[in-house]
Amino acid sequence: MIFKDYYKILGFETNRVSVDDIKVAYREQAKKYHPDLNDNAEKAEERFKDVNEAYRILGNPSSKKKYDRSWNRNIGKDRNKEQNANNMKSADTIFSEAINMFFGAKKEKEVKEVTKNKKVQVKGDNIETSIGVSIEEAFFGTSKKISLRAVDRKNENIYS
């Protein structure tokens, strides 16, 4: 599925905008790209349709919330991975500076090897299930075994 960035279509850099801001931006973009007011009618008409679609979705608070959720779920993951990778680099730099401050400077080669071997962890999706527990088990505590089937069809045993 291809996602259009409705915020960029309306001229915003971020999704932290009010409905009133969206309305003002829509009016500006609609005037700018109205097919009757542009010489290049084909491109203007297509852009005008995108502006109307963006306003239809973002102008309604409930559909804006749904759009933001689906955007974050699908597109935001990639952006968050890039940002986390950049943040990890800066965190590694801060860490190495602190170590250097207390223990002296390490060789640059050793610092590069440490940062190469670090992997960026990505949080998986939440899984919900229900487990039957009696009153005695809840009071005294118990251990139950849960078997989940992963995407690659291997069973993963999780103990709780």
Query: Tens of pLDDT along 51-72?
Result: 999 999 999 988 888 888 887 7
The pLDDT of residue 156 is above 60: no
Does the pTM of the predicted model rise above 0.75? no
35, two tokens:
């097919």
Q: Among 23, 1, 20, 18, which residue's Cα sits nearest to residue 10? A: 23
Q: What's the pLDDT tens digit per position in 58-115?
A: 999 888 888 888 877 776 666 556 656 555 556 667 766 766 666 665 555 555 555 5
Q: What's the pLDDT tens digit per position in 2-43?
A: 678 888 889 988 888 888 999 999 999 988 888 888 777 778
What does the pLDDT read at residue 151? 61
The pLDDT of residue 160 is above 50: no
Contacts of residue 106, Cβ cutoff 8 Å, sequence gap at least 6: 96, 99, 100
Q: Among 96, 82, 22, 87, which residue's Cα sits nearest to residue 52? A: 22
What does the pLDDT read at residue 24? 92
What does the pLDDT read at residue 143? 87
Q: How many CB atoms lie within 10 A of CB 51?
A: 24
> Which of the pair, 45 or 74, is modelled with greater confidence?
45
What is the residue type of 101? M
